[in-house]
């Protein structure tokens, strides 16, 4: 059996239990008095009594998981609330990192990826280490896969599909297409042992003045952003992978990068609720199991304190948005925090404020020791840490069951990712200036702008659509200009923005098209529109001065 096939079977239930029965989540049969990793004989496949929570488990499931956490040593419970990076690409090194600190799980970054097979091997090694720790719930294997520029696992790094940036979802404004794309991404991730994706982005962007989120956001329009987030959450759930709304309470309206410094949100509480919080509310109501807390100071809540460390921010999330799932911090290695605090101080402050899961401390050993010490001296209440760890355990028990419900996956045999990515791009492509029917270019075209890779990909797509790309020294019917962040201006008969749509204000081309991405599907969608073979059903999800939302 190949490693991918083995991980595909493992992903059927997220992780097999130590007994190897693969029967799904052990949470319904776990005794509140059992020690970690031990459970009674199942009595029923039904959940314990108690209200079913929006994000999946019942109140009884969470209570039982919290009791498991209460039976852990301080070292074990401290590790359970940490999600850490790990070094290199060696599966054994990843497993050792999990074991050394009793971690709740690990995060895959680009430096941890050699190939699809290697990621699958790493996930399998980590789950084996989890079982060796006596835990009968899966360890977290997480990744940042939004689509666009933020996609650690893509066609560039292995056999995964590349997806367009999430703004394509806002441009498409088609719940079925957006949900299908999220489900396809989730299915591919789960096929290689990934069970948690830090997506979708719920930030409402202000556009070109936004230095960080930009086309990672679904829209500048609150309602459209909310619809995209809701659809994506449903898609991830259908694919059996955990999703995470980010970056609460919204990073898209800020002009300071929290990777470097602490942004300040000066909007009133009412303005925040009406604009920035609405997509988070929609995602929570759709069943999002986790929310990522941004390192953002909200003057109306807790001036000078990052939301990730602010008790008031967690209160708003819990009481005003009725969120009962896992609150995870944004990366604890970001400048907004590390300029003023140590890893231990950050970890303790975040947990005390209300965080359940700590993402990526700079110094895992220091953060872990800080939590243990704070438990011992009373700085942290044990009940608060048990509550956090219990939510994380219940989260992973639920993921195991939802993965089993979603069914086995085999990346090598699936074409759904490429189809769903292309469908999203086809629904998103937008003509903001020009005719809406008939050919917009050709049959002979010049192609200018973009990188060498962009040029090659677009030319291939154009030729598949029946357009003839000719050398610049030969006559052509149409000059097509590719507009990107690196090549943001230029003239031509047709301008195609592969990045953010507001770049189209930098050209005087009479025909302007927003592609929302440079994937194979996005290139194909634009080429088909230019050749007159397909409509352009999308519309700009953000107001851009001087541009219509759509010409069609």
With 50 as the cut, is the pLDDT of residue 42 above it?
no
Residue 47 confidence (pLDDT): 44
Look at residue 294 in the predicted model and tell me its pLDDT.
96
**Distance of alpha carbon 539 from its chain centroid, rounded?**
23
Longest dimension (CA), the chain: 80
Inter-helix orientation angle 175-191/382-406, to 10°:
100
Q: What is the pLDDT of residue 3?
A: 47
The CA distance from 74 to 376, in Å, is 8
In the β-sheet with 358-359, what is the strand arrangement from edge to edge? 196-197, 140-143, 105-108, 82-84, 358-359
The answer, yes or no, to whether residue 177 has pLDDT greater than 60, is: yes
Average pLDDT, the chain: 91
Catalytic center residues? 259, 330
Tokens linked to 124: 């399998």
Q: Is 9 exposed, middle or buried (0-12, 13-18, 19+ CB in 10 A)?
A: middle
Q: What is the pLDDT of residues 518-532, one digit of tens each?
A: 999 999 999 999 999
d(CA 349, CA 337) in angstroms, rounded, equals 11
pLDDT at 12 over 90: no
Q: Yes or no: say if 490 and 448 are a contact pair by the CB < 8 Å rule.
A: yes
Q: Within a 10 A sphere around the Cβ of 144, how many other Cβ atoms?
A: 18
Phi, psi of 290 (to 5 degrees): -140, 155
For residue 414, pLDDT beyond 50: yes
pLDDT of 200 > 70? The answer is yes
Confidence of residue 400 (pLDDT cuts 50, 70, 90): very high
159-168, pLDDT tens digit by residue?
Answer: 999 999 999 9
pLDDT at residue 6 in the model: 44
Q: What is the pLDDT of residue 255?
A: 81
CA 337 to centroid of chain Cα atoms: 22
CA distance 67 to 133: 17
pLDDT tens digits along 91-127? 999 999 999 999 999 999 999 999 999 999 999 999 9
Q: What confidence score (pLDDT) does residue 256 get?
A: 77
**Segment among 19-33, 186-200, 535-549 with least mean pLDDT:** 19-33
Asked if pLDDT for residue 10 goes beyond 60, the answer is no
- Half-sphere exposure (CA, 13 Å, Cβ side) for 180? 18
Q: How confident is the model at residue 22 (pLDDT cuts 50, 70, 90)?
A: very low
Q: What is the pLDDT of residue 436?
A: 93
pTM metric for this prediction? 0.90
Question: How would residue 259 be classed by pLDDT, with cut points 50, 70 and 90?
Answer: confident
DSSP result, 437-461: SS-SS-SEEEEEES-HHHHHHHHHH
> What pLDDT was estimated at residue 257?
77
Residue 247 has pLDDT above 80, yes or no: yes
């Amino acid at each position: 059996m190949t490693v991918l096939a083995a991980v595909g079977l493992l992903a059927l239930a997220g992780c097999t239990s130590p007994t190897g029965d693969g029967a799904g989540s052990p949470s319904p049969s776990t005794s509140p008095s059992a020690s970690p990793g031990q459970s009674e004989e199942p009595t029923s496949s039904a959940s314990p009594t108690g209200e079913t929570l929006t994000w999946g488990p019942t109140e009884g499931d969470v209570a039982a998981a919290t009791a498991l956490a209460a039976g852990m040593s301080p070292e074990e419970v401290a590790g359970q609330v940490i999600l850490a990076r790990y070094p290199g690409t060696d599966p054994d090194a990843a497993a050792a990192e999990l074991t050394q600190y009793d971690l709740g799980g690990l995060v895959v970054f680009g430096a941890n990826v050699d190939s699809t097979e290697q990621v699958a091997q790493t996930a399998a090694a980590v789950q084996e280490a989890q079982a060796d720790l006596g835990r009968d719930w899966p360890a977290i294997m997480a990744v940042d896969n939004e689509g666009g520029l933020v996609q650690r696992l893509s066609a560039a790094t292995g056999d995964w599909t590349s997806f367009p940036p999430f703004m394509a979802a806002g441009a498409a404004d088609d719940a079925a297409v957006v949900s299908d794309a999220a489900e396809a991404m989730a299915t591919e991730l789960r096929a290689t042992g990934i069970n948690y994706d830090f997506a979708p982005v719920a930030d409402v962007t202000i556009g070109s003045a936004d230095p960080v989120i930009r086309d990672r956001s679904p829209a500048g329009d609150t309602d459209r952003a909310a619809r995209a987030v809701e659809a994506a959450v449903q898609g991830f759930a259908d694919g059996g992978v955990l999703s995470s709304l980010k970056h609460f309470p919204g990073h898209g309206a800020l002009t300071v990068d929290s990777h470097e410094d602490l942004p300040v949100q000066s909007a009133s509480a009412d303005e925040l609720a009406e604009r920035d919080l609405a997509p988070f509310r929609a995602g929570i109501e759709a069943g999002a199991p986790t929310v990522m807390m941004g390192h953002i100071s909200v003057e109306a809540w807790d001036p000078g304190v990052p939301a990730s460390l602010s008790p008031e921010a967690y209160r708003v999330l819990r009481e005003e948005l009725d969120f009962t799932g896992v609150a995870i911090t944004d990366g604890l290695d970001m400048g907004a925090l590390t300029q003023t605090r140590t890893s231990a101080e950050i970890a303790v402050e975040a947990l005390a404020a209300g965080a359940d899961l700590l993402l990526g401390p700079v110094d895992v050993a220091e953060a872990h020791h800080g939590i243990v010490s704070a438990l011992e001296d009373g700085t942290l209440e044990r009940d608060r840490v048990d509550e956090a760890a219990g939510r994380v355990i219940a989260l992973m028990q639920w993921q195991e069951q939802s993965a089993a419900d979603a069914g086995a996956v085999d990346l090598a045999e699936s074409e759904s990712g490429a189809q769903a990515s292309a469908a999203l791009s086809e629904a998103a492509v937008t003509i903001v200036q020009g005719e809406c029917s008939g050919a917009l270019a050709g049959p002979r075209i010049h192609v200018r702008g973009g990188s060498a890779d962009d040029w090659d990909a677009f030319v291939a797509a154009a030729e598949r659509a029946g357009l003839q790309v000719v050398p610049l020294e030969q006559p052509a019917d149409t000059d097509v200009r590719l507009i990107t962040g690196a090549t943001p201006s230029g003239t031509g008969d047709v301008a195609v923005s592969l990045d953010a749509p507001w770049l189209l204000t930098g050209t005087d081309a009479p025909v302007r098209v927003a592609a929302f991405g440079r994937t194979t599907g996005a290139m194909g969608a634009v080429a088909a529109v230019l050749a007159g073979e397909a409509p352009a059903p999308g519309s700009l999800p953000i107001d851009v001065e001087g541009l219509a939302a759509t010409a069609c």
